[in-house]
């Protein structure tokens, strides 16, 4: 398969089951909602070392938020509900609650739930009060700017992590320009995030390492500086490889995100230094979800 001169490898992206939640952050204006959202998604690029993967899903108009203020939808993924329970309340407390005028609400309603404001209420030192509206409990915690409003819990749902594709190009600049366009298109798809900085992975990894203390290490087969030293997947014309990794709430969302992302990259064509599209997998042994590139693009 060739699109605009770009070869689409006959391979698949291997993804795995995760758990996810969505939280809604509001504030006095979109600028401050963004500051809270960008703070909570800090150090959340990969579960390998961060514990969670998180990113902004989209901006919300006042008509879409519980308190009628501008808001941001943030999605957070982890390998288990237990890890979400550990990470989410701590991050909300240290980033959202500390942001001037911010409030925090559940963005998923499900039977399985984790704490949001349930324990953060104790910061109120006994002055906190709660209110139940439509069977949902909210905590009002007195803080210096007024009150921090936080829903007691948020829902958890099954999700998928690790949808991905690789952009093989002439130079890093060629790949990055194309990847930036791909991220713009992917962010239009509901229910997905790209958790790495700017949505682009500059240091894609493989499972395992020659060092026993590492669970992941550089994917040497796609490192251009190692051509001739390893069993490289790169031809002589490829000088740089970048990766886009996508987490989503279901297979349909990841399929669509991969498709629009790859199409955006291919729109630059081989004449602009984009030569191949590939994907990261481990022969099907790691993840239960396989996203075949040519099937997605057919």
Residue 197 sits in the same domain as residue 148: no
Non-local (6+) Cβ contacts of 79 within 8 A are 18, 19, 47
Residue 202 sits in the same domain as residue 287: yes
Residue 115 sits in the same domain as residue 199: no
Q: Could you tell me the CATH number of the domain that includes residue 184?
A: 3.30.70.520
Residue 108 sits in the same domain as residue 43: yes
pTM reported for the whole predicted model: 0.94
Q: Would you state the pLDDT for residue 205?
A: 92
Tell me the mean pLDDT in the region 267-282: 96
Residue 182 sits in the same domain as residue 58: no
Residue 190 sits in the same domain as residue 283: yes
End-of-domain residue from the set 90, 123, 157: 157
> Residue 256: pLDDT above 90?
yes
End-of-domain residue from the set 157, 180, 197: 157
Beta bridge partners of 28: none
End-of-domain residue from the set 157, 180, 215: 157
Domain that includes residue 49, residue range = 18-157
pLDDT category of residue 182 using cuts at 50, 70 and 90: very high
- Dihedral of CA 181/108/46/297: which sign? negative
Q: Are 120 and 92 in contact (CB under 8 A)?
A: yes
Give the total number of structural domains in the chain: 2
Mind listing the pLDDT tens digit for each residue in 144-169?
A: 999 999 999 999 999 999 999 999 99
| CA nearest to 66, candidates 164, 133, 135 | 133
Tell me the mean pLDDT in the region 89-101: 97
> Residue 286: pLDDT above 90?
no
Residue 208 sits in the same domain as residue 128: no
pLDDT category of residue 231 using cuts at 50, 70 and 90: very high
> Residue 138: pLDDT above 90?
yes
> Residue 285: pLDDT above 90?
no
């Amino acid at each position: 398969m060739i699109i605009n001169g770009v070869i689409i490898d006959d391979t698949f992206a291997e993804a795995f089951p995760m758990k996810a939640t969505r939280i809604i952050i509001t504030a006095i204006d979109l600028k401050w909602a963004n500051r809270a959202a960008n703070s909570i998604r800090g150090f959340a690029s990969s579960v390998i070392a961060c514990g969670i993967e998180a990113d902004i899903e989209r901006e919300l108009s006042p008509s879409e938020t519980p308190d009628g203020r501008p808001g941001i939808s943030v999605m957070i993924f982890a390998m288990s509900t237990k890890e979400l329970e550990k990470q989410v309340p701590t991050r909300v407390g240290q980033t959202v609650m500390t942001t001037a005028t911010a409030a925090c609400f559940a963005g998923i309603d499900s039977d399985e739930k984790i704490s949001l404001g349930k324990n953060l209420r104790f910061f109120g030192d006994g002055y906190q009060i709660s209110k139940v509206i439509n069977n949902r409990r909210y905590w009002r915690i007195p803080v210096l700017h007024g009150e921090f409003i936080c829903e007691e819990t948020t829902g958890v749902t099954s999700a998928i992590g690790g949808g991905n594709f690789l952009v093989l190009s002439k130079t890093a600049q060629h790949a990055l320009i194309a990847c930036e366009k791909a991220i713009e298109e992917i962010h239009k798809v509901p229910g997905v995030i790209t958790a790495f900085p700017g949505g682009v992975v500059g240091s894609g990894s493989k499972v395992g390492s020659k060092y026993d203390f590492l669970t992941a290490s550089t994917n040497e087969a796609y490192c251009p500086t190692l051509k001739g030293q390893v069993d490289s997947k790169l031809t002589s014309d490829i000088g740089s490889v970048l990766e886009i990794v996508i987490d989503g709430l279901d297979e349909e969302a990841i399929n669509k995100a991969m498709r629009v992302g790859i199409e955006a990259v291919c729109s630059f064509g081989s004449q602009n230094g984009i030569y191949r599209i590939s994907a990261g997998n481990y022969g099907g042994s790691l993840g239960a979800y396989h996203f075949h590139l040519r099937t997605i693009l057919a």
